[in-house]
Chain A
Amino acid sequence: MNPMLRVDDLHVHYGIIHALKGVSLEVQEGEIVAIIGANGAGKSTFLNTVAGLVRPSAGTVMFLGKRLAPRAHEVVKAGIALVPEGRRVFGNLTVHQNLMMGAYLRSDTAGIKHDEERVYKLFPRLQERHRQPASTLSGGEQQMLAIGRALMSRPSMLLLDEPSLGLAPILVKDIFATLREINAEGTTIFLVEQNARQALALASRAYVFQTGSIVLAGPSGELLRNKQIQEAYLGARGADRKRRRQSKVSQPPA
Chain B
Amino acid sequence: MILSRVLQQLVNGLSIGSIYALIAVGYSLIYSILRFSNFAHGSFLVVGAYAGFFIVTAMSIPFIPAVLLAILTAGLAAVTTERVAYRPIRERNSPTLYFIIASMGIAIFCEHTIVATIGPKFRTYPRVLAATGVDLGLVSMSKMDVMAAFMAFLFLIVLQYFITRTKQGCAIQAASYDLQAAGLMGVNVNRLVGTVFLIAGILAGLSGVFLGMKYTVYPQLGYLTIKAFVAAIFGGLGSLPGAIAGSLLLGVMEAFIAAFLSSQLRDLFVFSLLIAVLLVKPGGLMGKYVEEKV
Contacts and interface: CB of A to CB of B under 8 A. Distances in A.
Interface of A: 51-53, 71-73, 76-77, 81-82, 84, 88-93, 97, 100-102, 104-105, 135, 149-150, 153, 251-252, 254
B15 to A, nearest CB: 32
Nearest to A150: B184
Given A93-B177, A104-B171, A254 B293 contact: yes
Interface in B162-191: 167, 170-171, 173-174, 176-189
B293 A101 contact: no
B292 interface: yes
B177 A101 contact: no
Interface centre among A71, A89, A90, A97 (most CB of B within 10 A): A90
Given A90-B181, A104-B171, A252-B177, A73 B292 contact: no
Contacts of B171: 101, 104
Interface string B171-214: 10110111111111111110000000000000000000000000
A97 B184 contact: no
Contacts of B174: 90, 92-93, 97, 101
Given A73-B187, A90-B177, A92-B173, A104 B167 contact: yes
A149 B292 CA distance: 21
Nearest to A101: B185
A100 B177 contact: no
- The 8 residue pairs across chains A and B that have the minimum distance between CB atoms: A72-B183, A76-B186, A105-B186, A252-B178, A88-B181, A90-B174, A104-B185, A104-B186
Interface centre among A88, A104, A149 (most CB of B within 10 A): A104
B185 A153 contact: yes
Given A91-B292, A92-B292, A93-B170, A53 B184 contact: yes
How many residues of B sit at the interface, in one of the four size bands? 20 to 34
Nearest to A149: B185
Contacts of A91: 177, 292
A252 B293 contact: yes
Given A252-B178, A252-B181, 14 more contacts: A53-B180, A53-B183, A72-B189, A84-B181, A90-B173, A91-B292, A92-B177, A92-B292, A93-B170, A104-B186, A104-B187, A149-B185, A252-B293, A254-B294
B173 A84 contact: no
Main secondary structure of the interface of A (DSSP, over half): loop
Contacts of A92: 173-174, 176-177, 289, 292
A247 to B, nearest CB: 17
Contacts of A53: 180, 183-184
13 contacts: A53-B183, A53-B184, A71-B183, A81-B184, A84-B181, A88-B180, A92-B174, A92-B177, A100-B167, A101-B174, A102-B185, A105-B185, A252-B180
Contacts of A76: 184-186
A91 B293 CA distance: 10
B33 to A, nearest CB: 11
Interface string B135-178: 00000000000000000000000000000000100110110111
A95 to B, nearest CB: 13
Contacts of A71: 183
B184 A84 contact: yes
Contacts of A252: 177-181, 293
A88 B183 CA distance: 12
A77 B183 contact: no
A180 to B, nearest CB: 23
Contact of A82 (B173, B179, B184, B188): B184
A149 B185 CA distance: 8
Contacts of B182: 90, 101
Nearest to B294: A254
Interface in B54-71: none
Interface in B65-96: none
B292 A97 contact: no
Interface in B270-294: 289, 292-294
Contacts of B289: 92
Given A104-B187, A153-B185, A153-B186, A135 B173 contact: no
Nearest to B188: A73
A149 B181 CA distance: 11
A201 B180 CA distance: 31
B189 to A, nearest CB: 7
A149 B187 CA distance: 14
A91 B174 CA distance: 8
A90 B187 contact: no
A251 B293 contact: yes
A101 B178 CA distance: 12
Contact of A72 (B176, B184, B292, B293): B184
A51 B184 contact: yes
A150 B185 CA distance: 8
